[in-house]
Amino acid sequence: MAWQRQLQKLPKTASDLVAQLGLQSAYPAEKLQQQPDFPLRAPQSFLNKIQPGNPSDPLLQQILPLAKEKAQQAGFSTDPVGDLEAQKNPALLHKYHGRALLLLTGQCAIHCRYCFRQHYDYGQTQPTQIQQALAQIKADNSLREIILSGGDPLVLSNRRLAYYLEQLGEIKHLQRLRIHSRLPVVLPERIDSGLLHLLERSPLPVSLVIHANHAQEIDKQSQKALQALRQAGVWLFNQAVLLRGVNADIEAQMALAEALAKAQVVPYYLHLLDKVQGAAHFEVTETEALALMQALQQRLPGYLVPKLVKEIAGLPYKQRVL
């Protein structure tokens, strides 16, 4: 399949990507990480949306490994949202009442440089742990919703996804299934007929939370994929992260809201940056974020204004900032 071939043909190093985009003078070798612990990863469908010759491109900023990621910053850690404390086993995180995350894979189609799980140890997330997690879900009658996460669950084959959906559909106390995935945006070819058929026939109602930070990410291919998901009966929401150099201005936020509206995706959350080690250069202060959101409220109808939130490790909910 085309989407699987894309995942096999990724740029190897930051210098490869810089050369591909004609940006060698803007990003000499000393500004880059050539072999970062969290390696460069982005499919061609996403790279095609980056403007060649533009060193400030907002999509490029999200994926390019920079040397300054190595700088240590006070308050930034490898587990900023308390995932380790919430582990029931390596494949199951239970933070919030009535819902839990099932981590089906550690693989993603793209490595975002601000990813809060970039240091998470997925080494033990094996089929045996997932089976154990399914048993734990079945035994916990307080759970109403399961969120498929990772990594990105849609990098799995349709066959494997069908198995997990069938297993979850047999658990009587579950009422909803949610999927968190960046693939409809970064690799829209993944939304194939087999996946659509699978989601349409799911025993549980399905919502899908995509992750787009900038309007440039939602091109015609992504719009087509999102339309197909809607036609399959999937509810669509977006969560974004507020990132300096990417979307921390009123024009970018308005354009993103309008692009989501055109694609009939509900703007859901705008997250303050999770303070993960290596991402300090993306941080936008809460004061700046509040001013931006207030400006956004003046320009857009309420249903296109996302909730500004932050996650604090140990709290049983995301904290609403505005």
Extents of the domains making up the chain: 2-70, 83-320
Q: Which of 203, 263, 253 shows the shortest CA–CA distance to 230?
A: 263
Per-residue pLDDT for 50 more than 80? yes
The chain-wide mean pLDDT, for the chain, equals: 96
Taking only the tens place, the pLDDT of each residue in 125-141 is 678 999 999 999 999 99
With a cut of 70, say whether residue 223 has pLDDT above it.
Answer: yes
Distances, alpha carbon 63 to alpha carbons 5, 42, 66, 111, 278, in Å: 20, 7, 9, 6, 13
The pLDDT value recorded for residue 19 is 95
Helix (H, G, I), strand (E, B), or coil: what is residue 300?
Answer: coil
Angle between helical axes of 286-299 and 250-262 (0-180°, round to 10): 50
Which single residue is written with the structure tokens 């742990």? 129
What's the confidence (pLDDT) of residue 9? 87
**Please, are residues 239 and 269 in contact by the beta-carbon 8 Å criterion?**
yes
- Report helix angle 127-139 to 158-169, nearest 10: 20
Calpha distance 185→49 (Å, rounded): 11
- On whether the CB atoms of residues 104 and 68 are closer than 8 A, the answer is no
**pLDDT of 316 higher than 80:** yes
Is residue 294 pLDDT above 80, yes or no? yes
For residue 198, give both structure tokens. 């699978």
Whether 43 has a pLDDT exceeding 70, the answer reads: yes
- Tokens standing for 234? 């999937």
Average pLDDT over residues 283-295: 98
Tokens of 185: 């945006």
- Residue scoring higher pLDDT (128 or 240): 240
109-140: burial string, b at 16+ Cβ within 10 Å, e else: bbbbbbbbbbbbeeeebeeeebebbbebbbee
CB atoms under 10 Å from CB of 31, counted, come to 13
Which CATH number is associated with domain 83-320?
3.20.20.70
Alpha-carbon distance values, 50 to 55, 190, 253, 286, 316 (Å): 10, 20, 18, 29, 38
3-state secondary structure of 180: strand
**What is the 3-state composition of the chain as percent helix, strand, coil, each rounded to the nearest 5?**
40, 15, 45
Neighbours of 59 (CB within 10 A): 22
Closest to 110 in 3D by CA, of 210, 58, 182: 182
- Of the pLDDT bands very low, low, confident and very high (cuts 50, 70, 90), residue 124 is low
Query: At 139, which helix (H) or strand (E)?
Result: helix 127-139
Three-state DSSP at 133 gives helix
Model confidence band, residue 1 (pLDDT cutoffs 50, 70, 90) = low
Query: What are the residues facing 177 on neighbouring strands?
Result: 146, 206
Structure tokens at 84: 């380790």
pLDDT in tens, 68-89: 999 999 999 999 999 999 999 9
User: Does residue 250 contact residue 293 with C-beta atoms inside 8 Å?
Assistant: no
Q: What percent of the chain has pLDDT over 70?
A: 99
Average pLDDT of the residues in 270-294: 98
DSSP class of residue 302 equals: G
Over the stretch 186-207, which tens digit does the pLDDT of each residue have?
999 999 999 999 999 999 999 9
Contact predicate 272/289, CB 8 Å = yes
In this structure, what are the phi and psi dihedrals at residue 185, rounded to the nearest 5 degrees?
Answer: -95, -50
